[in-house]
Amino acid sequence: MTGLKGFFSSRWGPIATGVVVGVLAPILVKLGNPGNMGICAACFTRDIAGALGLHRAGVVQYIRPEIIGFVLGALVASLAAREFRPRTGSSPFIRFFLGMFAMIGALVFLGCPWRAYLRLSGGDWNAIPGIAGLVVGVLIGVVFLKMGFSLGRNRPAPKALGWAMPLLMVVFLAFLIFAPQFGRDAEGAATGPIFFSAKGPGAMYAPLLFSLAVGLLIGILAQRSRFCTIGAIRDLAILRDAYLFWGVVALIVAAAITNLALGQFKPGFADQPVAHTNTLWNFGGMVLAGLAFTLAGGCPGRQLFLSGEGDADAAVFVLGMLGGAFVAHTYSTASSPAGVGAFGPIMVVVGLVFCLVVGLTMRERRT
Amino acid sequence: MSEAYGVVLFFTTSSAIRGEKVAKRQGLRVKLIPTPRQLSSDCGMALRFAWRDADDVRRCLEEAGVENDGLHRI
């Protein structure tokens, strides 16, 4: 056990996590998940928002067990390692909006950083401007960090607070399994939610137990190794340290090999699954997402893992992502394979202005 | 025997960056590193220093008012 513990604390931890994600994500696609979307923290949270009825885009509604697994896996790992520490107080209200705009930006590109890397390894070259935007967003965030940006420190909180998010995930799991119908029309007939897509990406999913198991495994590994796709770029920029970065490289390489082996590697720009070819806004959307994630201290995956180990501020960020899904699919800012949404570009600009104001005004208070 | 090191843990990334700045201004040999995994902390960055400088590092951070989560020998 000590050996295993040491392994995940070592520089091999993020690499091992990256390899596991890189191998399992394409397998999830093979087993039913949408193309190049074996795992996507943004898309999957968006699907959950749709299933709950927070938006009514009928093609993207499903309670994704991977997300539930992420949180519960991190919970289990943190409990086992005595790292479960309920805490809060680091500007949760601001974090809600960072989560919201991160989601809005990600849905202009059509994917979180994880999916950006997975799209790249599936041969979707539209991911390249997305990843370039992500790097630019993180670097802008690093400038703010160097100028003294801070959301303030958190404080220990009562144990119960840390259990709230895992409990919410258990409720989601129950919704997924029992599919209760809460909506009723005038005649009393069930109208949903809970909604499940009949067609489109929301209707494409791997078997529940397999998805949940993959989510749990990744949640455990990532909690132990601190795998973070945003921290990877940030630490490279500030510390010149590639500890987390090698995890991302491992993910891309492992996923590319797995995609090749499964016959899922299809290089090109056109006709990629759940993607569009607008280079400018593939880039712009991810600048916003990268900046918002950096200001909040981690990629969406990391926010989910943190929420599982008791970080209530990260949990609020995740709620903000649900809110962002509501905005994106109700106010026509989300892209679709047909192209960028009507209000996508303007909302990216609004989000960037919001992040710039936050970055300039939220500063460490000197003690 | 190799030189003994210590790290300062912080609550936020910006404290860590400010900590590095003030320590370097005092001529202390410090380096920002990813927080050693076995030392759990809220912030992913820690400040490494030679353990024999521990008192100077502590004083320097205190004088500059950089909030931290303590000095730890590694």
Residue type, position A176, single letter: L
What pLDDT shows up at residue A234?
Answer: 94
Contact B37 A151 (CB under 8 A): no
- Using pLDDT thresholds of 50, 70 and 90, give the confidence band for residue B38: confident
For the cut 60, the answer to whether the pLDDT of residue A367 exceeds it is no
Predicted pLDDT at A201: 96
The separation between CA A224 and the C-alpha centre of its own chain, rounded to angstroms, equals 18
* Residue B31 distance to chain A (closest CA, Å): 8
Q: Which residues contact A24 (CB under 8 A, 6 or more apart)?
A: A38, A39, A214, A217, A218
pLDDT at A196: 96
Q: Give the total residue count for chain B.
A: 74
Query: How would CATH label the architecture of B5-73?
Result: 2-Layer Sandwich (3.30)
What range defines the domain where residue A24 resides? 2-361
Asked whether residue A275 is domain-assigned, the answer is: yes
User: Could you tell me if residue A315 is inside a domain?
Assistant: yes
Question: Predicted confidence band at B43 (pLDDT cuts at 50, 70, 90)?
Answer: confident
ipTM comes to 0.90
Q: How confident is the model at residue B37 (pLDDT cuts 50, 70, 90)?
A: confident
pLDDT at A214: 98
Query: How do residues A298-307 score in pLDDT, each as one tens digit?
Result: 999 999 999 9
Residue A366 has pLDDT above 60, yes or no: no
Distance, CA of A363 to CA of A206 (rounded, Å): 44
Q: B11 and A148 in contact by Cβ < 8 A?
A: no
Structure tokens at A275: 């993607």
**Which candidate in B10, B14, B15, B18 is best for mutational testing of the A interface (most A CBs within 10 A)?**
B14
Residue A77 pLDDT: 96
pLDDT at B74 over 90: no
Candidates B10, B42, B66, B69, partner chain A, best to mutate (most A CBs within 10 A): B42
Question: Which pLDDT score, from 0 to 100, does residue A5 have?
Answer: 67
What is the per-residue pLDDT for A242?
Answer: 92
Number of domains in chain A: 1
Mean pLDDT of chain B: 90
What is the pTM (predicted TM-score) of this model?
0.95
Q: Does B17 touch chain A (CB under 8 A)?
A: yes
User: Encoding tokens for residue A326?
Assistant: 């509501």
Q: How confident is the model at residue A192 (pLDDT cuts 50, 70, 90)?
A: confident
Tens of pLDDT along A314-361? 999 999 999 999 999 999 999 999 999 999 999 999 999 999 999 999
Q: Tell me, yes or no, if B12 comes closer than 8 A to chain A by beta carbon.
A: yes
Chain A residues with beta carbon closer than 8 angstroms to that of B15: 150, 153, 364
Query: Looking at beta carbons, which residues of chain A come within 8 Å of B13?
Result: 145, 150, 297
Q: Is B9 on the interface with A (CB under 8 A)?
A: no
Kindly tell me the burial class for residue A277, based on how many C-beta atoms sit within 10 Å of its own C-beta (0-12, 13-18, 19 or more): middle
Assign A271 to helix, strand or coil: coil
pLDDT of residue A272: 97
Q: Where are the domains of chain B?
A: 5-73
Task: Tell me the average pLDDT of chain A.
Answer: 95
Could you tell me what percent of chain B has a pLDDT over 90?
A: 72
Q: Do A145 and B11 touch (CB under 8 A)?
A: no
Question: Is B15 in Cβ contact with A238 (below 8 Å)?
Answer: no
Check B44 against A226: CB less than 8 A apart: yes
Confidence category of residue A8, pLDDT binned at 50, 70, 90: confident
3-state secondary structure at position A172? helix
B42: contact with A, CB 8 A cutoff: yes
- Which phi and psi (to 5°) does residue A323 adopt? -65, -40
Among A247, A252, A199, A249, smallest CA distance to A224 is for A247
Residues of A in contact with B40 (CB under 8 A): 83, 85
Compute the distance between CA of residue A237 and CA of residue A121 in angstroms, rounded to an integer. 23
Q: Number of Cβ pairs closer than 8 Å across A and B?
A: 60
What pLDDT is stored for residue B71 in this prediction? 94
pLDDT for the residue numbered A7? 78
Residue A236, phi then psi, degrees to nearest 5: -65, -40
Distance of CA A66 to the CA centre of its chain: 11
Instruction: Map residue A14 onto helix, strand or coil.
Output: helix
Q: Is residue A366 situated within a structural domain? A: no
- Partner-chain residue, chosen from A226, A231, A238, that has the shortest CB–CB distance to B32: A238
- Residue A41 Cα to chain centre, angstroms: 3
On the question of pLDDT at A3 being above 70, the answer is no
- CB-closest option in A83, A148, A231 to B14: A148
Confidence label for B2 from pLDDT (cuts 50, 70 and 90): low
Q: Which amino acid is at A14?
A: P
For the residues of A92-122, what is the DSSP string, one character each?
Answer: HHHHHHHHHHHHHHHHHHTS-HHHHHHHHHT
| Peptide linkage before B17 cis (omega within 30 of 0) | no
A152 to chain B: closest CA residue: B12
| pLDDT (tens digit per residue) in A193-227 | 999 999 999 999 999 999 999 999 999 999 999 99
DSSP string, A226-256: T--TTHHHHHHHHH---TTHHHHHHHHHHHH
What was the pLDDT predicted at A294?
A: 97
Confidence of residue B36 (pLDDT cuts 50, 70, 90): confident
